[in-house]
Structure 1
Amino acid sequence: MRVAVPKEIKNNENRVALTPAGAKEFVKKGHSVFVQQAAGEGSGFSDETYQSAGAEILPSIESIYETGEMILKVKEPVGQEYQLIKEDQLLFTYFHFASNEPLTQAMVRSKAICMAYETVERPDKSLPLLVPMSEVAGRMAVQKGANYLEKPLGGRGILLGGVPGTLPAKVLILGGGIVGTQAAWMAAGLGADVIIMDVSLPRMRYLSDVMPKNVKTMMSNEYNIRNLIPSTDLIIGSVLIPGAKAPHLITRDMLQYMLPGTVLVDVAVDQGGCIETCQPTTHENPTYTIDGVLHYCVANMPGAVPYTSTLALTNATLPYALELADNGWENSCIRFPELKSGLNIIKGDVVYQAVAETFDLPYVPVSYYINHH
């Protein structure tokens, strides 16, 4: 199969979907790999390292889409890529369709096969291709939050861990999934006073067992959130409903009860955000302030640490990408049922229910294309 890797063109997105080591694995199995010039530079991989791994460097994004049978990306295609995508082409990347109607409509029109990293779901409900980036984003959320709590950057002027004789910062984490768990570890490690909220009692029992003593668990509901926000310094939103829009747990009216200089970090912003006042920002202009409350809502946080992120992401995606190249998407989805849940759009049909419902589009069950033989 001809596997092609474009250079990411989203603002400040420095990750790349395939490392030279990954390219070598494809070549070893007899596939052809095409990488756009400078695609790996932001992550620290030169064109020469791809060439020595057996990949061919192509000069433009047009030549990449023209050549590839499978397109490997990190982020969803942006406007200028829409018309380059061909019918029956397999796109394997993060899509987050539920928060982007123009993208959804464009992919329906393209008649391509869109397989989304974020909805590949194992029988135990784990999301193997979302986990590595969630781990990065969860850890970064605390780094960024700690940074923006500094006065010159617009925060309250409070040190996350405090020092002897002063109280540490209070951190509230909404959602006890991968992002929330990693954020809690980081915030606890820096010495903050952490509360992590979730709606699942089994999950909270687990967190209560594994977390250090400065992390408390609490049932997530509006009453508890309203009680805590007046005394909280940093709030991290990490609620995920796979493939669907995140619910608003922090509403506009709650901001008036927060201390001036409180910092909100919404990691769920690429799925619509769980903080109502959150609008996607970029690494160039990461923050804005509403009612004295600082919002950090960068939609591709892991893009700021591309070397770590690219390695973490490709560790997870490569086995699936090799499987798709070896056996084609139909057979691969039969061999690995979790890939079937990754399918969002096939040849113009929306086959992922949450996406169809979000935009009132006709829904075609994926079994129409893939039989359970």
Structure 2
Amino acid sequence: MIIGIPKEIKTLENRVSMTPGAVETLVRRGHTVLVEAAAGQGSGLPDAQYAAAGAKIVGAAEAWGADMVIKVKEPIACEYQYLRKGLLLFTYLHLAADRALTDALLASGVTGVAYETVQMPDGALPLLIPMSEVAGRMAPQVGAHALEKSQGGRGVLLGGVPGVPQASVVVVGAGVVGSNAAKIAVGMGAQVTVLDVNHARLQYLDDIYQGRIVTSASNEANIRKAVTYADLVIGAVLIPGAKAPHLVTRDMLPTMKEGSVIVDVAVDQGGCVETIKATTHADPTYVIDGVVHYGVANMPGAVPRTSTYALCNQTLPYALKLAAKGLGALREDASLAAGLNTIDGKLTYAGVAEAFGLDLTPCSAVLA
């Protein structure tokens, strides 16, 4: 198979989908790999390393002209021109929060396999986990920066100092993002509260932190109370492949402290904060009702070398299956088949169909 690795062009997105080591593995399996010039530069991976691994260095159009394109982020509007029937696109798609991209994929007939909806029998999301770990660990870090007075925040140090209380961090969601956010916030010395609907997750966190965090059932009353004392709220709620529910609502903002900060890691799925909107690393925050909102939709792109290697470690085994067998890989691997979102103009993922009121074609029907 001919495999294309385009350069990511989203604002300040410096990740690349495959490392030179991964390219070498693909080439050794008999595949042709086309890497767009400078695709790995932002991650400290020069073209020479890809060429040495057996890749051909090409322009954007040639990389996109491959049988399968492997990316990191979803195509943006200027890349829609490359979408076509017969193209197998393997990347993060987050379609439930992007009607324009959904329409473009359906109109073009692209076979879109989304990292974030590949799902194991136990419900685990193996291709979302590494970036959720990175984003979760970054959330207290960027939140602490946003709390600085020069950034519009309250001027509070997350860990405080002797004689001065530490900041209060509220994490909404105790999954991969939330548990990693809690870990770093505790390590930075903050007072941490975690809310979740899954009692087993709260039990787990209570056990490992042995009273160093507060756990609370996630419901409207408890969230409403928690945001009033929070210096930093971290949104960490995920419904696989579907739009995130608005748990922090617009009417809660006036009850929050002036200069408090919201970091909504769920923004690429629409956000679990009603007032969140996607921002960029170049212009990451805005203020509503005195509350600083951080809505960068590609947070791991700020630490591209770590993120690139973490992502590629998980995506390469699936990329090898797709390269070897194409759609046959989906028929043989139910977890990978769960990643199928679009094919031949048909929408095959229920969460996206529900988000936009579109017709759903079951994955089993198109792979039969």
- State the TM bucket, normalised to the shorter chain: over 0.9
CA distance in 2, matches of 1:228, 1:21: 46
Q: Does 1:350 align with 2:347?
A: yes
CA distance in 2, matches of 1:256, 1:86: 47
CA distance in 1, matches of 2:103, 2:16: 25
Question: Which shows bigger deviation, 209-218 or 27-36?
Answer: 209-218
Aligned partners of 2:97 and 2:270 also within 8 Å: yes
2:131 alignment counterpart: 133
Aligned partners of 2:185 and 2:192 also within 8 Å: yes
2:29 alignment counterpart: 29
1:169 Cα offset (Å): 0.7
Q: Does 1:247 align with 2:245?
A: yes
Q: Does 1:16 align with 2:16?
A: yes
Count residues in correspondence: 368
SS in 2 for 1:261: coil
TM-score by length of 2: 0.98
CA distance in 2, matches of 1:87, 1:333: 18
In the alignment, which of 351, 365, 368 is matched to residue 368 of structure 1? 365
1:62 alignment counterpart: 61
Q: Does 1:334 align with 2:331?
A: yes
State the Cα deviation string for residues 244-275 of structure 1 (Å, max 9, x = none).
Answer: 11111111111111111101000000111011
Aligned partners of 1:191 and 1:214 also within 8 Å: no
Q: Does 1:79 align with 2:77?
A: yes
Q: Residue 212 and residue 317 in structure 1: after superposition, are their counterparts in 2 closer, same or farther (change >3 A)?
A: farther
In the alignment, which of 241, 265, 268 is matched to residue 267 of structure 1? 265
Aligned partners of 1:6 and 1:73 also within 8 Å: yes
CA distance in 1, matches of 2:356, 2:216: 34
Pairing of 1:188-337 with structure 2 (within 5 A): 188-329=186-327, 331-337=328-334
CA distance in 2, matches of 1:167, 1:177: 27
Aligned partners of 1:192 and 1:214 also within 8 Å: no
1:155 alignment counterpart: 153
CA distance in 2, matches of 1:360, 1:348: 16
1:212 Cα offset (Å): 5.0
Unaligned runs of 5+ in 1: none
In the alignment, which of 181, 184, 191 is matched to residue 182 of structure 2? 184
Q: Does 1:359 align with 2:352?
A: no
Unaligned runs of 5+ in 2: none
Q: Which amino acid is 1:64 matched to?
A: A
Aligned partners of 2:15 and 2:43 also within 8 Å: yes
1:48 alignment counterpart: 48
State the Cα deviation string for residues 325-362 of structure 1 (Å, max 9, x = none).
Answer: 11222x21233210010000011100111111222221
State the Cα deviation string for residues 276-308 of structure 1 (Å, max 9, x = none).
Answer: 111100000000111111111101000110000
SS in 2 for 1:3: strand
CA distance in 1, matches of 2:226, 2:55: 54
Aligned partners of 2:34 and 2:62 also within 8 Å: no
The sequence identity of aligned pairs, in percent, is 54
1:233 Cα offset (Å): 0.5
CA distance in 1, matches of 2:290, 2:162: 28
